[in-house]
Amino acid sequence: MESVNFEFLRPENELLANLGGLAEAVLHIDPGSALTRLRSFAEELTKAVYKEEVLPRMPQSSFYELVKNPVFEDCVSKSLIYQINFLR
């Protein structure tokens, strides 16, 4: 789904662009559903950071464990962690 604010992500990560677009599409119709999609966006964004930065992780790590991992906290800004935790 094409989006207004997330389309710039499509060339590198179609999944993130689609999740963002879906959240935009339902925001005014179903805000709870939009929030659910943004939580999925935050989880996929976290996994993308791990992949891009080649950060070590356990294969079955939960979203919480990925965000709280010191290697992730050292790699991204505190404001991004705050925003991810807000959506989580």
Is the per-residue pLDDT at 4 higher than 90?
A: no
Residue 53 pLDDT: 95
Is the per-residue pLDDT at 1 higher than 80?
A: no
Share of the chain above pLDDT 70, in %: 100
Q: Which of 1-5, 12-16, 55-59, 79-83 has the lowest mean pLDDT?
A: 1-5
Residue 27 burial (10 A CB sphere; 0-12, 13-18, 19+): middle
Residue 59 pLDDT: 86
The DSSP result for 30-83, as a single string, is -HHHHHHHHHHHHHHHHHHHHHHHT----TT--HHHHHH-HHHHHHS-HHHHHH
Is the per-residue pLDDT at 15 higher than 80?
A: yes
